[in-house]
Every structure is written in C-alpha cells, then in structure tokens.
Amino acid sequence: MTDRSPLRRARDNATELASLAVTGFWLVALVTGQEWWLAALLVGYVVVVPLTELLYGDTDEEAADADEVESALSSDADDETPLERLRRRYADGKLTDEQFERKLERLLETETLEDIEDSAAVQEQERERQRETERT
C-alpha cells in the first residue's frame, strides 16, 4: 500500500466526496423540514457533482488511455493480441485491479474467449511464417 497524504487521497476521490457532501446536505434539509431540500438535491447532482468530476476527474484513466494509444502505435503492439497487451500492462503495474477488470470485461464483451484464442493462434502462425522467411 502506498503512503499518500490525506490531501492527495481527497483529491483522488473528489467526485465521491462531493457526492457524499451533496447527499448529506439535502438529507439534513429533508429531515429538518426545509422546503428547499429538493432544489439542493437537483443542483447538487446536476451541477456540483458533474463539475467536480470535470475539475478533478480520474487522471489515472487518462494516463491509461494515453498508454493504450502509445502501445497501439509501438511495433511490439502488432505482435500482441489485445488480451496479451492487457495482461502485460496489468503486470507492469500500469493498470489498477479495477481498470484491468473493467477493460477485460469490455474486451470480452466484444470478443469471445474462443475468438481471442483463435486470433492468438493465427498471429502465432504468422510469426512463424515471418521467422521462416527471415531465415531464408
């Protein structure tokens, strides 16, 4: 576990904290009989929470997306299947557990496991052919 300051953790979880604050604010207003509780709820969830997400959005996702583009452009990416690339990025520590699981689910939604294995087998055959032609 990494040692992060409370300020850093608060910044990383700003959207969640804003949601919690909005919920607490309108619930207190509701319980105490204030008439403006519905306005607080709507403004909180329609303005405050999305604005917080825009300002303090998930920078890890942006970095992961940039890494994805970079790896797609590299020459090594041509030899890897999407599943292999995902596993490598996870093993290198570029993806968190949540990011890995989310991207794996998205990958499996678009491709079945058999498609991925077939694709890997075809790519392996192509690599073998390339090696043979390079030897001759």
What are 49-99's pLDDT values in tens digits? 999 988 887 665 656 565 665 665 554 545 677 778 888 888 888 888 888
Give Dmax over CA atoms of the chain in angstroms. 85
State how far Cα 90 lies from the chain centre: 12
Predicted pLDDT at 31? 96
At 53, give phi and psi (nearest 5°).
-65, -40
Quote the mean pLDDT of the chain: 80
- Is the pTM above the cut of 0.75? no
Three-class DSSP category at 123: helix
| Sign of the CA dihedral with 18 first, then 20, 22, and 28 last | negative
| pLDDT over 60 at 19, yes or no | yes
Predicted pLDDT at 12? 81
d(CA 99, CA 93): 11
Predicted pLDDT at 28? 95
11, two tokens: 């910044």
Predicted pLDDT at 75? 46
Instruction: Name the more confident of 32 and 11.
Output: 32
26: Cβ contacts below 8 Å, ≥ 6 apart = 37, 38, 40, 41, 44
Q: Tell how many helices (H) and how many strands (E) occur in the chain.
A: 8, 0
